Chains A and B, each alone.
Chain A
Amino acid sequence: MTNNDFVLQAIDLAVSYGDTNALSSSTFAVGAGELVAVVGPNGAGKSTLFKALAGFVDHEGDVVVHGEHCHHLERKAIAYIPQQSDLDLRFPLSVSEVVMAGRRRFHGRRMRVKHEDTARVATCLSQVDLAGMESRSLSTLSGGQVQRVLLARALAQEADVLLLDEALSGVDTRHTEELIALFADLCATGTSILVSTHDLGLVRTRFTRCLAVNGRVRGDGAPSTELEGSKLEALFSHSSWGEAS
């Protein structure tokens, strides 16, 4: 692959919060249609990595999307799904309102919701198996359903890269399988997906590539090599104190 073939490139990406290095210099690239797991212990910097890629936190180094260096607020090609703990899930919004947020940049200068936006929201909800639940309140949904609503919102954005922070937490086995199948379908259409997860078994069986993160990206390759033996032990035993928050 040449540099122009990559959808997303992180070049010497590093993040500090005050005196604490949350993520040290990390470099990797993701091609179109790749499904990548991001693994590492709690506090390893996985969320920080995603937030830096999405442009939510100040960082050193470069993020390159489709060969172009990005300013923080110009990363429309990237959609980020936060951990549920970062959201107020009792916020009084309906499912369709949450997903419609993903359509905001298509509303035009007058910010009018168009017929195609409503149709697109319905399509995205069907893709995540929530068809017909448009008017349900977010606060009445289970954790797994909320996760799928947030995924539908990312799909509504029509982004080329999806960053899913702990997207499979709180999702039951059946819906995990369905989400993985959905990820495969999306990747087949060219969408690149990065998923952070603690489920190493799932990564070994359903992913072909993983990034091992602890303070920085320490490994990048097939789960069969990155998550076995001494590499796995080193990843989870390495102290990130003082290096990651």
Chain B
Amino acid sequence: MSWLLDPFQSDFTQRAGLICIMVGILAPVVGTWISLRKLAYLGDAMSHSVLGGVALGFAWFGTNAVLPGALVAGVFMALVIHFLSQNRRIATDSVIAVVGSGMFALGALLLSKMDTTVSISHFLFGQLLTVNTVDLWITLVLTVSAVFFVWFRFDDLKFATFDRDHATQIGIRVQRLDAAMLVLLAVCVVVCLNTVGIALTVSLLITPTATARLFFNNVGTITRAAIAIGLTEVLAGFIVAYHFDLSPGPAITLGATSVFIVMYAIRFATSDRTYVHHTHDHDHSH
């Protein structure tokens, strides 16, 4: 037991632990919808794009402005994607690639020209042990807001993701929901910034949900299972990193990937191999 609690003895590791709990809840909640909407690539690009905001915030206002800078960059990226995607000639993933890579390049250039001891790898792979109280409060507010939004709009998200046309017809404002999902993703990326960093954020968004999806076939159950998996992976990764003197971000990510591979193997080994092709003409009810 002390092996589990040792990492949480000091103030800064307690703050890190609290961040881990919030990330472990928020990332799977948002990640479930990112995954179901097939937006994993957007998650990756969005996480890289915030480097521009991180660098500008850091350059102008210091370390306390890193998260607000990232949030502004994430929301900016979301709005630009939403606006540019209205043009039918350009595929949305092309827009994501153009805007995401441009903002990442801006951040990398700015950081390389700054006279500071902070390395770009701090942002790329997380800086969990340097979390301060301001970061903690920002993360708390963002997490609570995002989770409440998903909670209250759960059915609308479900219907709009499954059948956009029908959702429109039954009164769901689908485009507003799309925009809200982009902002939620930006919020989640910002919250994950300290924990696993820009390069590995997509792992926390997608891997717990993908693991849950192996075993469950209902959105609500998948979300609850993904939260349980995500929380366990983030906390376990942090504890292991503490004891073995590893970087927490990569340790958490590698742990999550390993869990997915093991669960995939278990699912494959125990699967009854039944699979219904939707193009079949026969019915199974009789």
Contact = CB atoms under 8 A, between A and B. Distances in A.
A29 B170 CA distance: 24
Interface in B14-43: 36
Nearest to B170: A104
Given A92-B217, A129-B285, A140 B166 contact: no
A141 B276 CA distance: 7
A143 B155 CA distance: 24
A172 B169 contact: no
Contact of A91 (B88, B162, B168): B162
Ranked 3 nearest A-B pairs via Cβ: A137-B217, A104-B170, A101-B159
A102 B170 contact: yes
Nearest to B221: A92
A91 B283 CA distance: 19
A184 interface: no
Given A92-B213, A92-B217, A97-B158, A79 B283 contact: no
B169 A55 contact: yes
Interface of A: 17-18, 51, 54-56, 73, 75-76, 78-80, 82, 84, 86-89, 91-94, 97-98, 101-102, 104-105, 111, 129-130, 133, 137, 139-146, 153, 157, 170-172, 175
Given A130-B285, A144-B281, A139 B170 contact: no
B268 interface: no
Interface in B163-192: 163, 165-172
Interface in B220-276: 222, 276
Contact of A73 (B171, B217, B278, B282): B171
Contacts of B161: 91
Given A92-B213, A143-B278, A144-B283, A54 B169 contact: yes
Interface of B: 36, 88, 155, 158-159, 161-163, 165-172, 213, 216-219, 222, 276, 278-285
B172 A104 contact: yes
B165 to A, nearest CB: 5
Given A93-B158, A93-B219, A105-B171, 11 more contacts: A17-B88, A55-B168, A73-B168, A82-B166, A92-B216, A92-B219, A101-B170, A102-B170, A142-B278, A142-B283, A175-B283
B284 A145 contact: yes
Contact of B169 (A79, A84, A145): A79
A87 B285 contact: no
B160 to A, nearest CB: 10
Contact of B280 (A78, A142, A175): A142
A8 B118 CA distance: 67
Contacts of A130: 285
A76 B166 CA distance: 11
Contact of A93 (B162, B165, B167, B285): B162
A120 to B, nearest CB: 14
Contacts of B163: 82, 86-87, 101
Contacts of B166: 80, 82, 101, 153
A170 to B, nearest CB: 6
A145 B285 contact: yes
B278 A84 contact: yes
A172 B217 contact: no
Nearest to B274: A140
B3 to A, nearest CB: 37
Given A92-B222, A104-B155, A75 B278 contact: no
Contacts of B282: 142, 144, 172
A92 to B, nearest CB: 5
A54 B285 contact: no
